[in-house]
Structure 1
Amino acid sequence: MAGFVQAPGAQPLLGHFLPLLRDPLRFMDSLRGQGDLVAIRVGPLRFAVVCDPVLAHEVLTDLRTFDRTGPVYDRTRRAMGSGVATATYADHRRQRLIMQPAFHARHLAGYAEVMRHQTGTLVGGWQDGEVVDMVEEMFRLTTSIALRALFSTRLDPADAEKLRSAFEVFLRGSYTQLALPSLGRLPLPANRRYQAALRQWRTQVRDLIARHRGAAGDQHDLMARLLDARGDDGEGLTDEELCDQVAVLLIAGAETTSAALTWAMYLLCTHPEVLDAVSAESGRVLGGAVAGWAHLPDLELTARVIKEALRLYPPSWLLPRTATREARLGAHVVPSGTMVLVSQYLLHRDPDVFADPNRFDPGRWLAPGRSAAESAPPATRPRSSSKSHHAYVPFGGGPTKCLGEQFATAEAVLALASVLARWTPQLLDSRAARKPDCRLVMLPRHLPVRLAARAR
């Protein structure tokens, strides 16, 4: 990639593999300031990392030129199918047009009732003084919400738990299948568990789809809406396409949202003054109830905490694209076939946009015109510039921006408020959170907290 700034520290044969393996976030941070496009190498593979928000916006908004092709996406589709989050330009538009009505704002209140019920079950089952791992608890919560929103009452508790367990094994094993495909083909116990979970997952989802197709009467869950949806040609999604979409929707609706909630919990536990303020808001707004759709407008601070958690720890932290033709990005000519990487983690900590970018400060998202007592110091607010409009992209951007953004944001705010209205978490070990697992989704390895019941 002649003409690009070359990242320092490449080793013979390995390139930048070792620093990426040891601490990928620190490595990404090290690229900032070296150039707006920085070339890195991982073994024989070469990538161009986009460090400028404006250029990143160009990449994300031009799917025809910067498509989801190449070896990474080929392996992703083999593992998860060709859903709307993994489809190439040729298939993406049709799938998105078919699916978009199911995520219309008019349906969100109904989905929020599913969120309220599942969250109430979780927070009502905890005990005073109990130690829980928030990574596991939040994943269990968001998976149950996603499954219930998809399949409604047709999914009995036993089936739901089997599907959730299979999905968890499948998700945890997907990283090996993507990053180390040769290792993923060996007859290891973990690979056998992965293949068995994948078979169970697809069989069970196909059965649920068939039952929905054959059901009489009006259903208001997400799957019913997807079954009814039609494209411009009048054709709907096939059963195989629907199966692929379920995998994508669960990853987007479960794994990424659970990551956002886990990081929000970590940040609040390490900033007790903000935790006290959010808990007070939750208690005042909810009055001991579980949060529902009507509570959302009044959970203003809670929403800013989620937004700031997504800035500091975006669950989807790295988006690959491949140039399908020669293109220009800024002053650079990008040859056809170049693999381009957009890192939300890198963009979200750009000091030209976010002053003191590593600081947790929900006040930076206050709306203009708030009183001085409520406002953040002017230096911490996102700076107004052409960069600032494109530097915050936790849900991606352009035609591939997450369809479920409103769903996920509402879910995270309602769940966080419901937890904090009833429980005060005390962090027992923050070491795992200091060096996250950067796989498909960025997460702490574990986050143990002790729960103290709040007076209602």
Structure 2
Amino acid sequence: MPTQYTSATAPGALPLLGHAPAFLHRPLAFVAGLPAHGDLVRLRLGPLDAYVACHPELVRRLLTEDRTYDKGGIVLDKAREVFGDGLATCPAAAHRRQRRMLQPAFHRDRLPGYAALMAEEIAGTTATWRDGDVVDVPAAMYRLTTAVTARCLFAAHERAGSLPVHASMDTIARGVGRRVMLPLPGTDRVPTPENRRFRRARQDLQEITRRLIADYRAAGTDHHDLLSMLLSARDEDGQGLSDAEIHDQVVTFLLAGTEATAATLAWAWTLLATHPAIRDRLHSELDTVLDGRPAHHEDLPALPLTARVVAETLRLYPPSWILSRTVAADAELGGHRVPAGATILYSPYLLHRRADVFTCPDRFDPDRWLTTARPVPGTYAPFGLGARRCIGDAFGTTEAVLAIATIAARWTVVPTPGRRIRPARSASLSPRPFTATLTRRAR
């Protein structure tokens, strides 16, 4: 007998505001509680109506039937203001061409080369650390992933890892987060100091990328980095990407790669600090394999626990915790009609904490991945699913494993006592406030 999926409207809507106050002030708890009301739950966010797909099978359909459920909606539309029509945000009509053109840049044969650049930047960034240093962990991880991403994009630039993009990207990422969490029309056009900083940072980043694209075109050399691949990419008709298209892809890679991996690394340190038995096992693995040296691509097969720590961190705290799709034409989802133009939200955070999918879902247990190597589609989606699955998933997880291995082989990250670490209310999950003391390990 086919599964009967339930549909409901979330209770607690306020006049005019709907569910927006609950969504703004306690977003994770609010979203995680929606499955109790139905498999497809209707929300009202101010004047906007939206649906939330809470059941894994409905999410699988939402993400794999991409011509019916296209990229768009209140979350993606806000992100598109920054990313333009890059691979992560472009509509289905443009996606197939872009994906085919960009896929060679992320072929598995190129990963060892990128990993070598990652290892150099991770080692270089952490070389200045000193025993007893007190650091803002999310900021430190953001600086590290910015250096790595910029180096892999612009390897020809003699100081790619220190390009002045960190401040701009941090401001833009926070601005996108505010716009997603306050999806009311017109709020991003009010000339507040935050909006002015956002627009200025976006202009600065655009100028940097335009200048780099022009320099690369003038040189005409393949530097075996991501920007060279973008410049040489051709579609089936032999046409390349325009400068505007390359700019959108560069911004997508810079922001998506930096923000997501930095958040994952920051959460990994909080989880390891509060689970000393797992941290001790991780240290044992790293002492055996690395003996204090930086990790490299060839070490990855010998670091299975480190990889499971990354997978479990992504389950508990997926960086893109809520995303949206727009309905291209009248459709049915789980036996319920959804009209054309409607926004449907889905939350990897919600999916990853369903007790009917993951045993003790709130527990940090990297060993669960010893028996859950291939999750049922729709139950684990930190990188999406189907044709729109993140093209840089292997890139990001490789960077995270190398960073955790290199840092934990030499350092213990000890959170400042007495401070409660909470997820920032933003488009991506990051632990704040989170300061910690770096303690050099004695092996």
TM-score, length basis structure 2: 0.94
Q: Given residue 128 of structure 1, which amino acid in structure 2 is its aligned partner?
A: D
| 1:164 alignment counterpart | 166
| 2:29 alignment counterpart | 26
Q: Is the 8 A contact 1:281 1:301 kept in 2?
A: yes
| 2:434 alignment counterpart | 447
Q: Given residue 334 of structure 2, which amino acid in structure 1 is its aligned partner?
A: G
Q: Is the 8 A contact 1:319 1:343 kept in 2?
A: yes
| 1:417 alignment counterpart | 405
**Match status 1:282 vs 2:276:** no
**Match status 1:345 vs 2:333:** no
> Partners of 2:75 and 2:54 in 1: how far apart?
21
**Could you list the per-position Cα deviations for residues 387-430 of structure 1 after superposition, in whole angstroms to 9, with x for gaps in the alignment?**
83320010011111100000001100010011100001111157
> Partners of 2:168 and 2:158 in 1: how far apart?
15
Matches within 5 A, 1:149-298: 149-156=152-159, 160-178=162-180, 179=182, 182-298=186-302
Q: Given residue 21 of structure 1, which amino acid in structure 2 is its aligned partner?
A: L
**Secondary structure of residue in 1 paired with 2:219:** coil
**Match status 1:11 vs 2:14:** yes
**Match status 1:42 vs 2:29:** no
**Secondary structure of residue in 2 paired with 1:442:** coil
Structure 1 residue 220 displacement after superposition: 0.8
> Partners of 2:45 and 2:120 in 1: how far apart?
46
Of residues 78, 83, 86, the one that matches 1:83 is 86
**Secondary structure of residue in 2 paired with 1:152:** coil
In structure 2, do the counterparts of structure 1 residues 338 and 62 end up closer, same or farther at CA, with 3 Å as the change threshold?
A: same
> Partners of 1:124 and 1:198 in 2: how far apart?
31
Structure 1 residue 438 displacement after superposition: 3.5
**Match status 1:437 vs 2:424:** yes
Q: Given residue 60 of structure 2, which amino acid in structure 1 is its aligned partner?
A: H
Q: Given residue 210 of structure 2, which amino acid in structure 1 is its aligned partner?
A: R
> Partners of 1:283 and 1:251 in 2: how far apart?
33
| 2:3 alignment counterpart | none
**Could you list the per-position Cα deviations for residues 308-333 of structure 1 after superposition, in whole angstroms to 9, with x for gaps in the alignment?**
00001000111101111121222212
| 2:62 alignment counterpart | 59
Q: Is the 8 A contact 1:173 1:190 kept in 2?
A: yes
Of residues 369, 376, 381, the one that matches 1:388 is 376
Q: Given residue 319 of structure 1, which amino acid in structure 2 is its aligned partner?
A: L
> Partners of 2:20 and 2:196 in 1: how far apart?
27
Q: Given residue 451 of structure 1, which amino acid in structure 2 is its aligned partner?
A: L
> Partners of 1:25 and 1:429 in 2: how far apart?
24
Q: Is the 8 A contact 1:148 1:155 kept in 2?
A: no
**Could you list the per-position Cα deviations for residues 172-195 of structure 1 after superposition, in whole angstroms to 9, with x for gaps in the alignment?**
223344535634323333322222
| 1:374 alignment counterpart | none
Structure 1 residue 271 displacement after superposition: 0.6
Aligned residues: 436
In structure 2, do the counterparts of structure 1 residues 176 and 330 end up closer, same or farther at CA, with 3 Å as the change threshold?
A: closer
> Partners of 2:362 and 2:125 in 1: how far apart?
32
**Match status 1:426 vs 2:377:** no
Q: Is the 8 A contact 2:72 2:89 kept in 1?
A: no
| 1:378 alignment counterpart | none
**Could you list the per-position Cα deviations for residues 12-69 of structure 1 after superposition, in whole angstroms to 9, with x for gaps in the alignment?**
1111111111111100111123211011111111111111101100000111101123
Name structure 1 gaps, 5 residues minimum: 368-380
Structure 1 residue 171 displacement after superposition: 2.1
| 1:328 alignment counterpart | 332
Q: Is the 8 A contact 1:111 1:149 kept in 2?
A: yes
| 1:406 alignment counterpart | 394
Q: Given residue 139 of structure 1, which amino acid in structure 2 is its aligned partner?
A: Y
Name structure 2 gaps, 5 residues minimum: 1-5
CA RMSD in angstroms, aligned pairs only: 1.9
Structure 1 residue 447 displacement after superposition: 1.4
Q: Is the 8 A contact 1:5 1:38 kept in 2?
A: yes
TM-score, length basis structure 1: 0.91
| 2:361 alignment counterpart | 357
Q: Is the 8 A contact 1:4 1:38 kept in 2?
A: yes
Structure 1 residue 440 displacement after superposition: 2.1
Q: Given residue 160 of structure 1, which amino acid in structure 2 is its aligned partner?
A: S
Q: Is the 8 A contact 1:429 1:447 kept in 2?
A: no
**Could you list the per-position Cα deviations for residues 122-159 of structure 1 after superposition, in whole angstroms to 9, with x for gaps in the alignment?**
222111011111100111001110000000031526x9
> Partners of 2:418 and 2:225 in 1: how far apart?
38
**Could you list the per-position Cα deviations for residues 70-91 of structure 1 after superposition, in whole angstroms to 9, with x for gaps in the alignment?**
4543433223211000101111
Q: Given residue 190 of structure 2, which amino acid in structure 1 is its aligned partner?
A: L
> Partners of 1:445 and 1:343 in 2: how far apart?
21
Q: Is the 8 A contact 1:252 1:404 kept in 2?
A: no
In structure 2, do the counterparts of structure 1 residues 70 and 453 end up closer, same or farther at CA, with 3 Å as the change threshold?
A: closer
Q: Is the 8 A contact 1:429 1:448 kept in 2?
A: no
| 2:108 alignment counterpart | 105
Q: Is the 8 A contact 2:312 2:364 kept in 1?
A: yes
